[in-house]
Amino acid sequence: MKILLINQAFVSPDEPGHTRHFEMAKFLQTRGHELVIVASDLNYQTGKRTIERKGIFAEQNIEGVKILRSYIYPALHHSYFWRVISFFSFMFSSVWTTLQVKDVDLILGTTPPIFQAVSAWFVALIRRKPFLLEVRDLWPEFGVSMGVLKNPLVIWLARWLEKFLYNRATHILVNSPAYKEYMINKNVPENKITYIPYGTDIDMFNPTIDGSSIRKELSLENKFVVLYAGALGQANDIDTILRAAKRLDENEKIRFVLFGDGKERERLQNEANKLNLSNVIFAGVRPKKEMPTIIASADVCLAILQDIPMFRTTYPNKVFDYMAAGRATVLVIDGITRELIESSYGGVFVQPNDDEALASTILDLSNNLEIVKQMGLNARQFLVGHLNRQDKLNETLVLLESLVEN
């Protein structure tokens, strides 16, 4: 098979962010198939160019994976209006770029942002190929819940577009069981939806990795390290972490380390300075290939989102990486991820937006290292048994083959 993926936010191992589609491409290679990826030429965390481009797109070849970096207007970290302009620019450029790829068997579109999924549908239509829609987050519902989308007409149009894509897709792939329930409630036939969680690479992330180099680099020797690794955006509620850090500022043992970038980074750093926090380190961005060592440097790892009901439906990918690395998760997200952490005994849940409870929980864990260690072992064992990415990629391959054969 030759599969074509349109993903504006695609990340290679040399960039910060999640590399799931790169790993899928490498896996498909081992089975004799090819995944060609049409991506933007900006990294979604940093907003910086990933490649020099002449014309609409530039071609990359990374470990045998063909990537076509298509033009996008550089405004990902600007206002939401300009972000939409950026999304539209990629929607149009990606269609042109995609049409340069010959002999395709299946078109894979992914959302969010939803506009690139429109490109995938259009290309599948004119090429008369199956269109697999991968839904990674529920857009526009997340945007409405966060207050990003407020205009009633815009919301109506966004929901119309969402329904349009659900109806036009040959099949829909979701990474959360709650997403499947959501779509069924919108009258999408159940047999049209397949749920396959992403999981993680249990060899790449494992408890034997030595993170001492990161501790030494950041002067964290003999500290209790609370790690957050991921985007610093509006949805991530890093302000609650800063308020919890303020409550623990006099504790010489505890350090909060934030790896990542995003639209809110500059504001958050300014807020940390205003609070005069001596126990918070903004450690910048690192490529995905360095994340196993970074997570290995932590005692516990944080996953946090705003206290919004729709966020209870999502699985943050970072939690899978934390679990595979044998690290306990301090989870500040309710819903299905809470069920995962509590059923695996792999961490502790803290009510969202409660910095007092977060500070108290972290203080307790810092004084109970054996419990922390056991939680990490529990998490790793559960992840290996239920969320090994190799198993999930095999399930995905079965789905891809069935769509092409039909």
Angle between helices 20-30 and 389-405 (to 10 degrees): 70
Q: 3-state DSSP call for residue 131?
A: strand
Strands (E), 78-201: 106-111, 131-135, 171-174, 193-195
Q: Is the pTM of this model over 0.85?
A: yes
Dump pLDDT digits (tens) for 241-252: 999 999 999 999
Dump pLDDT digits (tens) for 256-282: 999 999 889 999 999 999 999 999 999
Dump pLDDT digits (tens) for 200-251: 999 999 999 999 999 999 999 999 999 999 999 889 999 999 999 999 999 9
Angstrom CA distances, 377 to 293, 332, 370, 383, stand at 17, 20, 11, 10
Q: Which domains does the chain have, with CATH numbers?
A: 2-199+389-405 (3.40.50.2000), 212-386 (3.40.50.2000)
Q: Side-chain half-sphere of 220: how many Cα atoms within 13 Å?
A: 24
CA distance 360 to 31: 49
CB-CB contact of 174 with 195 (8 Å) = yes
Dump pLDDT digits (tens) for 38-59: 999 888 777 788 888 888 898 9
* Residue 196, pLDDT score: 97
